[in-house]
Amino acid sequence: MFDVRWADVHSVEELQAKRKEWIAAAPPRAGVRDSRLARVGRLLKHVFMLDLLFPSIFRLIATLNAMLRDGPSRVVLLCSSPPFSMGVAGRVMKAMHGDRIVMALDMRDLWSLHTAFPGPKFQKRLVESWVIGGADIFTTVAPALQARFEKRFGRKPDVVFNVATHIKPVLSDPAAFDWACVSEALRPGTRKIVYTGSIPAGFYDLDGFLAAVEAFGRHPEARDIQFVFVGAGGELAARMRGRQIPDGLIVFGPQMSHDAVAEVQNAADVLLFLGYHADDNQGQVSIKLFEYFRREKPILPVHIRAQSDVDWLVRHYCGFCVHLLDEAALVATFGDIAASNGSKLPRSHDTAEKEASLLMAYDRASEAIIAKLADRNP
């Protein structure tokens, strides 16, 4: 909220070294903070647009402005949102310095158009329109988001999928993983259906998912399965209250480091992905999905709509997708997992080759930035 960190680097190697240094100083964890205070803070942030008013944003603008006094005649600003405040800061610099700045805006999620975020939509759209209108290069992470931005703001961004190139392979033996480090409630020999990361309020049809788990819990094969949620699962836990779900069928683990989560994903029998609660899943293509692809485990896509972006990606990586949209379909699939360990579910193969085709979009975006920079050089 108050700090601004920057590094003077002159090569990819220096940038990677600085990134490792920052990560070592504050190791990231899977999922957001899930305390009641944190949830209230996020609500207030969206309602009052506080993320645009943090002192760090003003310090960032002042720092960039000072750096530009002795900087080169042309500068590229890469602005990645969220947080949307990065786009605002970049747009302010663009307004201050004009064509000296080549502003590349990457909208990796919706802001004013997001159906789960509260707050003044009209005012947010005015700000977002100003930011998007000032960008020289505009990208996003999914075709459905591309369509929304074009319809509302009249500008069509290029699509650059959020491929998880930072994910490293896990070389340890999945069978040797100690599930007790996640929770003592996890029993040896059960099929582990694992979800890692956050479960934000309003994103998913949790009641529909829990109704299917509750119904499956009445089947004898339920004793052979455990659903494991690692990270910020408070929203799901709250919605479980009052349901007749057998003890141990759903198990919650703590927030863990990214390295620890990688071990959990590697040891899972099936990886669970929840679809955003909208007709087209609102273009939800989180980096979690790409992490799952790299693990090459069976993927259980819950409430994923046909022709959605997640559906396209699962078919691209796995050859087919399943569309489990109601309780009966989910209960039947849970039973199949108990019987066959997810053999009927989509599973990524030839992952490096599939990723390479998507990563070409990064080359095209980089070339567009370089071309724009060259156009503006005297």
**The pLDDT value given to residue 15:** 81
Side-by-side strand order, sheet with 299-302: 250-253, 225-230, 191-196, 270-274, 299-302
Break the chain into its structural domains and give their ranges: 12-159+359-376, 174-347
User: Any idea which residue has 């405040």 for tokens?
Assistant: 85
Q: Give yes or no on whether 12-159+359-376 and 174-347 have one common fold.
A: yes
Cβ atoms within 10 Å of 323's Cβ, excluding its own: 16
**The pLDDT value given to residue 377:** 47
CATH no. for 12-159+359-376: 3.40.50
State the Cα–Cα distance between residues 228 and 268, nearest whole angstrom.
Answer: 9
Strand partners, 225: 191
State the Cα–Cα distance between residues 2 and 18, nearest whole angstrom.
Answer: 20
Say which CATH class 174-347 falls into. alpha beta
State the Cα–Cα distance between residues 312 and 310, nearest whole angstrom.
Answer: 5
Q: Assign residue 5 a region: left if phi > 0, alpha if psi is -120 to 50, beta otherwise?
A: beta
Nearest to 286 by CA among 46, 100, 109, 41: 109
Tokens of 49: 């647009």
**The pLDDT value given to residue 282:** 83
Which ranges of the chain have pLDDT less than 70?
A: 1-6, 26-40, 42-43, 46, 48, 116, 376-378
